[in-house]
Amino acid sequence: MLRFFLALWASKFYYWINKLRGNLRDDRPGLLAFKICPDFLARVGKPELVITITGTNGKTTTSALVNNMLCEKGYKVSFNDWGANLHAGYCLNLLRAVNIFNRPVMDVSILEADENTLAYTMGMIEPDYILVTNVCKDSLRRNGHPEFIFDRIEKAFEKLGDKTIAILNANDPISSQLAKNTGTKRIFFGMADAHTNPYENRVKDIWVCPECGADIKYNYKHYRHIGDFYCPECSFRTPECKYYASSVDLDGRTISIDENEDSFEYPLISETIYNAFNVLSATAVLRETGISPKEIADFLDTQKVTKIRETCIKYNGIEYHTYGTKSQNVSAASTVFEYMAKEPSIKEVVFCMDEVQDKNHPTETISWIYETDYEFLKSDNIKKIICAGHMYLNHKLRLLLAGIPEEKIFCVEEDERVPDFVDTEGIEKVYVLFEIDYVRKGGRWRDAIVARAMELNGDDPSKVVGSIDYFNQDGDNTVDAKEAK
């Protein structure tokens, strides 16, 4: 116990110093607590409500929605809004929620959790709810393969048993099988056919029925392996849902969710199917905590995609976007590439997709680019693809193998030269696709592209730089360059 309080007081002091410096997005106080007391997560006091949100894709946006709603309701919430989702982040999250005597001073803790850590950490934390958005193919280096991650999450449910409630995606034939024999109460959310007509992926995250080995069939798909599935040879199929999106209008940005015998309409935060799932899963969590459908609908009407995933600057009739694209993550990158192809505007695409770690580890695997669907970018509405950064030749080779004409591919390694390759003639949008660790770098590239366009047009480009605070959700995700601060 002495070691625990030493860890608590030392980490709180470290956090206080960071707070004085204005450096709140730093999980090193949590790392200090973990190093001093390895079972800190078991000993630290917990708020009355602890919600864990995990899964391969969608956990950041879903966590932000749940946090914002609970804060709007007046709850005191501890949440790492910049995505500190490993052991140090959990420790920081929970140490902030207690006083120096280890008594809770906050109502709720929301833990965005890396799925690879659940087996070790969740048995100590004992959250009230664990939401799993999906399980898909992710980084070979970080997460291996979907079966490995499934086993890691399943171990957490085995340890927790009936101490937690699992909220699962019924349309995911992988994660929907979690916690079947653990004594954990399971609640499902799912969605009717949204008529997205997804492209076929090179890599299938699940091919055969896990119960009998027959080929899995679908009545419809939303994207990748997410859809209404069944096995023709046994009882394996999409589970019954407590929260079922019976109608989805992506263009109109509305979703109708059936709950028991009632149906409620909610706004969507974007026109993408994966964000529709984020809204659906967040709604399921919020309804379980007792928040009314009307309160959720009114709240969602004020929300947008988190800025660390998507922002836009408009100038001279052209939209310049930053768009989060996880490199090393086959499912996320392929889904974004499919969106680039289907989004109807005439566009140029800039790759800012090198991982921070890779520059210091030149032998790191690049197998992910050969499993990712670069073929989706072979679309008439994509006028040019600019490959930038130290991985630019690898991206170029993969694009050529995908059948992209070489005259559409432009390569540059130096950051400062990226704007010189963007041609706005006849273009409606420019997308800078950035690795999620490069949110600020992607923004700087986009700002430099806009600044160059303004300079060529005789406008003052200086006010564009830093015009969007990526870690502050107040204000709009879209700004006009001429009105930027």
Report if residue 88 sits inside a domain: yes
Report if residue 459 sits inside a domain: yes
The closest alpha carbon to 56, from 113, 126, 122, belongs to: 113
Q: At what angle do helices 2-20 and 28-36 cross, to 10 degrees?
A: 170
Q: Which of the 8 DSSP states describes residue 215?
A: B
- HEC per residue, 410-461: EEECCHHHHHHHCCCCCCCEEEEEECHHHHHHHHHHHHHHHHHHHHHCCCCC
List Cβ<8 Å contacts ≥24 apart for 149-154. Answer: 149/56, 149/115, 149/116, 150/174, 150/175, 150/177, 150/178, 152/115, 152/116, 152/117, 152/118, 152/119, 153/54, 153/115, 153/118, 153/119, 153/178, 154/178, 154/179, 154/182
Q: Are residues 323 and 193 in the same domain?
A: no
Which residue, 268, 300, 332, sits at the end of a domain?
300
Q: Which of the 8 DSSP states describes residue 99?
A: -
Largest CA distance in the chain: 68
Which residue, 256, 274, 300, sits at the end of a domain?
300
Question: Residue 190 corresponds to which amino acid?
Answer: G
The closest alpha carbon to 95, from 74, 116, 81, 109, belongs to: 109
Q: Are residues 289 and 426 in the same domain?
A: no
**Distance between the two ends of the chain, CA-based, in angstroms?**
51
- The answer to whether residues 316 and 286 touch, using CB atoms and an 8 Å cutoff, is no
Q: Are residues 291 and 319 in the same domain?
A: no
Q: Are residues 380 and 272 in the same domain?
A: no
Cα(50)–Cα(303) distance, integer angstroms: 23
Count up the domains in the chain and report the number. Answer: 2
Residue 314: give the domain boundaries. 310-483
At CA 325, angle to CA 323 and CA 329, rounded to 5? 170
Report if residue 402 sits inside a domain: yes
Sign of CA dihedral 353, 478, 111, 106: positive
Q: Please report which helix (H) or strand (E) contains residue 114, including its range.
A: none
Q: Which of the 8 DSSP states describes residue 354?
A: -
Q: Are residues 223 and 317 in the same domain?
A: no
Cα(453)–Cα(293) distance, integer angstroms: 45
Q: Are residues 178 and 315 in the same domain?
A: no
Report if residue 314 sits inside a domain: yes
Q: Are residues 264 and 355 in the same domain?
A: no
Cα(176)–Cα(240) distance, integer angstroms: 11
Whole-number pLDDT of residue 359: 53
Report if residue 52 sits inside a domain: yes
CB atoms within 10 A of CB 226: 29
Residue 228 pairs with which residues in a beta bridge? Answer: 220
Q: Are residues 69 and 93 in the same domain?
A: yes
CATH number for the domain harbouring residue 434: 3.90.190.20
Cα(51)–Cα(39) distance, integer angstroms: 20
Report if residue 305 sits inside a domain: no
Q: Which alpha helices (DSSP H) does 117-207 contain, by range? A: 118-125, 140-143, 146-160
Q: Are residues 252 and 359 in the same domain?
A: no
Q: Which of the 8 DSSP states describes residue 240?
A: P
Whole-number pLDDT of residue 326: 86
Beta strands per DSSP E along 274-346: 310-315, 318-324
Residues contacting residue 181 through CB under 8 Å, at least 6 positions apart = none
Q: What's the Cα-to-Cα distance from 171 to each of 89, 213, 218, 237, rounded to whole Å?
A: 30, 19, 10, 9
- The answer to whether residues 70 and 110 touch, using CB atoms and an 8 Å cutoff, is yes
- The answer to whether residues 391 and 353 touch, using CB atoms and an 8 Å cutoff, is yes
Q: Are residues 25 and 85 in the same domain?
A: yes
Residues contacting residue 411 through CB under 8 Å, at least 6 positions apart = 386, 387, 388, 392, 393, 396
Q: Are residues 403 and 450 in the same domain?
A: yes
What's the token pair of residue 290?
């007792």
Which residue, 265, 300, 335, sits at the end of a domain?
300
Cα(438)–Cα(302) distance, integer angstroms: 27
Cα(468)–Cα(305) distance, integer angstroms: 14
pLDDT averaged over 10-residue windows placed end to end, the chain, 485 residues: 94 94 90 96 97 95 96 96 88 97 97 94 97 91 86 97 98 97 97 95 92 96 96 97 97 96 96 96 98 97 88 94 90 94 96 69 73 96 94 95 97 92 94 90 93 92 77 74 67
Q: Are residues 287 and 388 in the same domain?
A: no
